[in-house]
Structure 1
């Protein structure tokens, strides 16, 4: 088990999963739920160790603060009882009338195994449950794998926008539900 420090004096256990023994059907093996207090520390660690937050130098404490504000929209994916990713879906976002998928984050050692698609599909269903007919997201155009992932899932680019936080260009993508 690896320990990661979240706050001074507070450590979070990050269990090691045997990726060779992952179930073939992640759709049925992954359980999605609202985060517990314990989950919040783990997902903050996932966020802080993932780009773009990692490259911005965001600390785990800053990630925890940001995710605490997003907690009502946060859905945590658990595999074998361990938090392995999350998706945030808000009722309103930059496209009027569309749900907004703010983030999909997958634990680094579990990427490219279908977990991102499980999270995306859950985000789409969450938007449908909000009675939205469209879901939108922003993505860095330099993040080729993410752009390709969203395009394969049926998203199209509707605009190029400037991020308020970073000042960098982002693709605004959407998909009909």
Structure 2
């Protein structure tokens, strides 16, 4: 298992990851392409020679935001999400961030547990943020 910066040829695997992980809420090919072309830290986790997960981190004025993190459903609970999150935090630090923020579906207990175990704490709740479901805003000082 390795984490590396994404390259243009990762477009198709990342679009497939989006569909597998987020279904009807997946980012489109155009959105993923914009992530790859933008000023984001987009990281790919490879396992067994294929893209098993990815993360996208934005840094603006000292604040980082974890925009997306995804691990193939059949590969979850093997430490890949934790590895991606750690790599995202490191990328944010390298880009000068002092803190990282993220939003997570308030009902996604596994993700909330992962973030809490990695030092994130809830700071706000956004009612109805995810098609009627609440989001927790979590923060970690870097």
Q: Give me the TM-score of the superposition, normalised by structure 2.
A: 0.87
User: Where in structure 2 are the equivalents of 1:20-169 lying within 5 Å?
Assistant: 29-37=1-9, 39-50=10-21, 53-54=22-23, 57-58=24-25, 63-71=28-36, 72=38, 73=40, 74-92=42-60, 97-162=62-127, 166-169=131-134
Shift in Å, 1:164:
5.7
4+ residue runs over 6 A deviation: none
Contact kept in structure 1, 2:125 and 2:135, CA below 8 Å: yes
Shift in Å, 1:65:
1.6
User: Quick one: distance in 1 between partners of 2:138 and 2:59?
Assistant: 16
User: Quick one: distance in 2 between partners of 1:87 and 1:163?
Assistant: 24
Larger radius of gyration: 1
Contact kept in structure 1, 2:105 and 2:130, CA below 8 Å: no
Contact kept in structure 2, 1:136 and 1:175, CA below 8 Å: yes
Q: Which residue of 2 aligns with 1:175?
A: 140
User: Quick one: distance in 2 between partners of 1:47 and 1:122?
Assistant: 19
User: Quick one: distance in 2 between partners of 1:33 and 1:118?
Assistant: 13
Could you tell me which runs of 5 or more consecutive residues in structure 2 were left unpaired when the two chains were aligned: none
Tell me the alpha carbon deviations over residues 53-103 of structure 1, each in whole angstroms, 9 at most, x when there is no partner.
31xx257xx5212211211322111123311110000013xxx74100011
Per residue, is there more strand in 1 or in 2?
A: 2
Contact kept in structure 1, 2:66 and 2:100, CA below 8 Å: yes
Cα-Cα RMSD: 1.9
Q: Give me the TM-score of the superposition, normalised by structure 1.
A: 0.71
Shift in Å, 1:48:
1.1
Higher relative contact order (CA 8 A, sep 6+): 2
